[in-house]
Structure 1
Amino acid sequence: MPEPQQIPLETFDTTLKSKYTEVSTSAIGGQVLACSDDFFASRDNLIKPGPSASMKGQFGPNGALYDGWESRRHNEASDWIIIKLGPAESHLDYVDIDTSHFSGNEAPQSAVLGVHGADVPLTPDDSRWEELLPVVTLGPNSRHIFELNAKAKEGLWSGVLVRMIPDGGMASLTLGKARFRAYGRPAPPTLYTALPDPDTAPVNLLSPLIGGHIVGCSDANFSPPGNLLLEGRGHDMSDGWETRRSQEGRGKYAAGQPLAGKERKEWVVGKLGAAGVIRYVEVDSAFHVGNYPVAVQVEGTLSDAEVPPEDAEWTVIVAKKPLGPHRQLWLATERNVPESQVFSHVRASIYPDGGLKRFRVFGFPIAKGAKLQEPAKITITAMPLTYEAFAPYGQVIQAWDKDTSAPKGIQVNIANQGTAFKFNRLAKVEETYPDGILKRGGVALACMRAGPQFDVRNGATIPVVKLERHAATTQAFIPMGTGQPAGQERHKHGGAYVVLAAHNGENDEPDLSTLRAFLATGAQGVSYNAGVWHHPMLTVNEWMDYACVDAQSGDDGLKIDCETLENDWFNVYIPPYEPPTVPDEPVAPAPSVASKFASFLARGDGLIHPEPITHEAFAPFGELVRAYPNKADAPAGVLHGGNPALNIAKISWLSNLSESYPADANATTSIGVYRATPKEGCDRGKVFDVRHMERHPYTSQAFIPMGKAEWPGKSEPMLPPKGTFLVLVAEGGADDRPDPATLKAFTMESGTALNYKAGTWHHPVIILDGTLDLACIETQIATGVKGSDPRDCELLVYDGEPFAKVAVPE
């Protein structure tokens, strides 16, 4: 039998390569399971993505270094390596055996065998190996493309055995089909003949593991679009897709060019592994912090061609949405797209240009010719909550792991003497009630304790029959930490809540075409714009406490306060939410009379000894926001309410927000977030010198410790557990400065918030034990990022003798 002929490189690279997937590469899960020897160069190099790099002149303990696989010399027969393919099953069409940079030590000959089954044998003498490529001759420092036999193309394979005869080196080996670079056809997924149940988890239809691949793009100047389909979030900016910069009136947008005068954008087209219905897309801009696109739009079409024709009709799957830096966004299919509409290709357009890390398309593969029926009732999937996706309905209140990941337009600065990042003005605080209706003041802080209505650890489909709106006020819900006052049991970690929002329609009822659902973790708050229809608080998995920020008249049944509608509108599918495990902390015992007396006696040491915060002790300086399970413990004058049938208790008017800036100051009331770290030099069991005190003469200032949570792979990483707020406050003295004789120190657990009265002297935020995210509600003229205003904050620094000394509790 004649030796198989090599395929010319140009023919393969320009005509064939884009039609196959590189199924052996480690980039999509290929693994080297075993080899005979890799004394000189590691076996794992063989399936690394990208071309082999020259390491000429570099040496290690075993000899010259190579970016490839090289065995020791003088082996008896042949060397071999066993590779498990990335896809579970794949047809195999071509191999590229690459000896780049091996000259004089290249493998003279090679052969390829294959095996099918999840249990890939680890030895070359297993009887299940079948020949896919007979022995072929190789040359030095070159790529060798061979077409595999009919058995390879028609069969399904899970692993390959590559023989290196007799020994030597290979730079890389790739097997696969169309993708961004190689050579095989992964087996398609199981096809549906009808729409699956709403609680069926969708699959990534564009995954290379089922044959998804890129078929075209407008530009790939810096990195190829095939990277968009890789697993994970990559390692730096290089392994994504990045286009060249575009400029108005230049290049392809210059006068006389086909795109002159048109909106600047770049695009990429992918063919799905199997045609199917699409439920949502994931767009990731990881590591693209200064060159991410401004916006993205996703369209779909149905075509039997590898590349859709120029006259193909494209349907908008996701309308143009803003993007952010180093961020994952999950964007639901537009509601006007029928749930039964099938697509074979998708086109992602980025505006005006830039870089993306990953692009995934989730849905269900559908058998050709299947007769699909629209479901009788709408079911929408709850997406992970992101700032950009929620922007049409309000704002998301959270911190980000990287300050450079803050949404576009959000100013970030270092605060509190270098101990915190502050994400400024994340959410607006507004009310537009007619004069005279708000009898108890304007926007106020309340606390809601809500029990879980559903458990979604394994996912759940939830019927939605009620929506509400608040026509004259924004309304924010901020999850608080799990800590509770001494003697009370902490909440368990793992709670989350469902966010449902819709715009108002022409009939003055919810416009269901704008309906969106999100799942928010305990580390994310939301603020609904005034007039937005939304679901009442819907907590899942565990009990949670929320700080609520809104305005209310307090008159029962007043429509401007809250208007509700009930209807059997739709279902919401909540994907499985299983947060990371956090050890439960023991309940702190309530302080005894004896311990309080001992603490009092200890004060003869001249130190300030912190006590657990209470609303009575803090009253001269402000108010506390916390749940009071025993109503008798709550401050006088608050309003108790809620919905016992839904395990919701709400205490309103715990504290009012206030500001007295001159009208021409243009001050803004908003909600930001401090990511506050423990202060150096303020350690448990040590004495802390108080060297800073500040006040905000024109505004109250509220700090709300937020929860710690994570939706693995779909949210910011969770902060480490623990964290206590050390509160230091003092009354003003006759000299208009803080009076050290009145200094009080309190410890405040993460399930309690506070609101300093305007003008209260206090120490900048001090955190013990662990980093906390603190939502901050205040009125400011400036953020400190682009200028400052002395009216916002008056800070005193004590360089010599400290203002006071505090005994930080053990």
Structure 2
Amino acid sequence: MADLPREGKLARSPDFTQLIDMASESVGGKILFATDDFFAPAENLIKSDSPRRGDDEYTEFGKWADGWETRRRRAPGHDWCVIKLGVQGTIRGFDVDISYFPGDYAPRISIQAANLEEGKEPEIPQRGVRMGVAATPEELEAVAELRSSDWDLLVPMTELKPEKPASSHNYFPVNSQQKWTHVRLNMFPDGGIARLRVYGVGHKDWTAADPKEPLDLVAMAYGGACVGFSNAHFGHPNKMIGVGPPRSAADGWETARRPDRPPVLELNGDGELLIPGCEWAVFRLAHPGVITQIEVDTTYFKGNSPASCSLDGCILTTQEEEDMIRQKWDLPGHRWKALLPVTQKSRARQPHPGAPGRGHPREAHHLPGRGRQPPAPEGVPQLHLPPAAPGQAHDEVLSEGRVQVQPVTPRSCRVLATQ
């Protein structure tokens, strides 16, 4: 660890905050150990919701706090806790949130991480939800086997800076491509922290995957990622490929209304709205695969869901992808292969006979996953490809907002959605 702390930098929501919070309780994150939980338990660190204020709330131990708060130390050392990540993978950045801890926040922190082999963790006593206590000798002895003080240092000892009482985020980018399974949060010497967000991209051991098992290859938990989009005014496309079902309209991709729309909308001869242009997003798959089924879920977007959408795929090398990112995905039209034709929302529950998959599923390398690009008044429309060819694995019931595929060859896809 660094001998002297350096000044922390406050930033405005860096790009990595659009990724999965790998430590959140909502994806299976778990507190394994904490040195002290006197005023508020460490489990509050990994709550999925934002911290709230509690001016006039008190417990038998003192003022209530929505975060992890330890007692003032009267012994050598400092406080720390160990978190098992719910999604294991590459960490891109941390958010150490000290909102509503204006007089009790931890002055300094550091963060370490480790990649522990599954099943090789020591048995640490179950914590339960508790307050007014410190770690027991039994817990200290068990956690010592982790040797967490020797873990890799991702954030050196750093001073935390409070900003506004209701919004005091300290962001720390991480430059590491290694897979991590656990993190250790150190506070120096004690104090309170409202939330710890561990943002990153999941990692899956594909060598252990069954090639006949349908998987969501665009899922961020496996390594899928958005690599380009036209607009993300109200919600980033990465939110479509997160973990778990949506909880609100915040869990989806939502664009601004296009100013180039005509003042009065009209229909063409086929009964389709005449609206110029479209919005698009491009996703890199976590692993090459053959697309067998697609689902687009617009839950919670009840007045601003898209009228239609389409899905295209292409095969790209790593260098070609980097070139396309610089060129804002100005890829020649002949490189894209249609996976799903332009589909009206009203027909979303019907199979698409022109879609690939029956007899000769197309191959691709990027594609959209949880298609929650703005929900329909009539419910949750879903877009499905027809079943795969005989002998190919697929699910009749699709996961929410997912593309389910077999891992085989590289590809790319984009999703288009009209206003």
TM-score (norm 1): 0.37
The match for 1:317 among 318, 336, 339 is 339
CA distance in 2, matches of 1:205, 1:406: 22
Q: Are 1:124 and 1:161, in contact at CA under 8 Å, matched by a contact in 2?
A: no
Q: Are 2:81 and 2:184, in contact at CA under 8 Å, matched by a contact in 1?
A: yes
Residue 35 of structure 2 corresponds to which residue in structure 1? 36
What one-letter code is carried by the residue in structure 1 that aligns with 2:314? T
What one-letter code is carried by the residue in structure 1 that aligns with 2:374? G
Residue 170 of structure 2 corresponds to which residue in structure 1? 144
Q: Are 1:282 and 1:328, in contact at CA under 8 Å, matched by a contact in 2?
A: no
Aligned residue for 2:245, secondary structure, equals: coil
What one-letter code is carried by the residue in structure 1 that aligns with 2:340? V
CA distance in 2, matches of 1:712, 1:346: 15
Change in 2 beyond 3 A, CA 1:80/1:345: same
Deviation at 1:264, TM superposition (A): 5.2
Deviation at 1:316, TM superposition (A): 1.9
Change in 2 beyond 3 A, CA 1:175/1:713: closer
Residue 278 of structure 1 corresponds to which residue in structure 2? 291
Residue 163 of structure 1 corresponds to which residue in structure 2? 186
Residue 227 of structure 1 corresponds to which residue in structure 2? 239
Higher normalized strand content (fraction of residues): 1
CA distance in 1, matches of 2:391, 2:199: 40
CA distance in 2, matches of 1:69, 1:329: 50
| Superimposed CA distance per residue, residues 551-606 of structure 1 (whole angstroms, 9 cap, x where no aligned partner) | xxxxxxxxxxxxxxxxxxx62657578xxxxxxxxxxxxxxxxxxxxxxxxxxxxx
Deviation at 1:106, TM superposition (A): 0.5
Is 1:135 the counterpart of 2:161 in the alignment? no
Return 168-177 or 231-240, whichever deviates more. Answer: 231-240
Residue 68 of structure 2 corresponds to which residue in structure 1? 69
Deviation at 1:317, TM superposition (A): 1.6
CA distance in 2, matches of 1:347, 1:236: 17
Residue 83 of structure 1 corresponds to which residue in structure 2? 83
Residue 118 of structure 2 corresponds to which residue in structure 1? 118
CA distance in 1, matches of 2:156, 2:217: 35
Q: Are 1:46 and 1:173, in contact at CA under 8 Å, matched by a contact in 2?
A: yes
Q: Are 1:28 and 1:209, in contact at CA under 8 Å, matched by a contact in 2?
A: no
Aligned residue for 1:46, secondary structure, equals: helix
Aligned residue for 1:103, secondary structure, equals: coil
Deviation at 1:11, TM superposition (A): 8.5
Aligned residue for 1:317, secondary structure, equals: strand
CA distance in 1, matches of 2:366, 2:398: 30
Deviation at 1:82, TM superposition (A): 2.0
RMSD (Å), alpha carbons = 4.3
Percent of aligned positions that are identical: 26
Residue 186 of structure 1 corresponds to which residue in structure 2? 202
Change in 2 beyond 3 A, CA 1:207/1:3: farther
Change in 2 beyond 3 A, CA 1:23/1:283: same
Change in 2 beyond 3 A, CA 1:263/1:144: same
CA distance in 1, matches of 2:343, 2:105: 51
| Superimposed CA distance per residue, residues 64-94 of structure 1 (whole angstroms, 9 cap, x where no aligned partner) | 4444322333363332222111334x23353
Return 202-211 or 315-324, whichever deviates more. Answer: 315-324
TM-score (norm 2): 0.67
CA distance in 1, matches of 2:199, 2:380: 40
The match for 2:312 among 299, 303, 314 is 299
Deviation at 1:107, TM superposition (A): 0.7
Q: Are 2:356 and 2:362, in contact at CA under 8 Å, matched by a contact in 1?
A: no
Deviation at 1:236, TM superposition (A): 3.2
Residue 706 of structure 1 corresponds to which residue in structure 2? none
CA distance in 2, matches of 1:162, 1:263: 50
Aligned residue for 2:14, secondary structure, equals: helix
Deviation at 1:187, TM superposition (A): 2.8
Aligned residue for 1:94, secondary structure, equals: strand
Aligned residue for 1:114, secondary structure, equals: strand
Aligned residue for 2:81, secondary structure, equals: strand
CA distance in 1, matches of 2:205, 2:185: 27
Q: Are 1:244 and 1:354, in contact at CA under 8 Å, matched by a contact in 2?
A: no
Query: 5 Å matches for 1:377-776?
Result: 405=379, 516-517=386-387, 571=390, 573=392, 575=394
Q: Are 1:30 and 1:85, in contact at CA under 8 Å, matched by a contact in 2?
A: yes
Residue 334 of structure 1 corresponds to which residue in structure 2? 356
Residue 93 of structure 2 corresponds to which residue in structure 1? 94
Change in 2 beyond 3 A, CA 1:201/1:323: farther
CA distance in 1, matches of 2:367, 2:8: 29
Change in 2 beyond 3 A, CA 1:42/1:346: same
Is 1:13 the counterpart of 2:11 in the alignment? no
Change in 2 beyond 3 A, CA 1:112/1:340: same
The match for 1:354 among 370, 374, 378 is 374
Aligned residue for 1:111, secondary structure, equals: strand
Aligned residue for 1:516, secondary structure, equals: coil
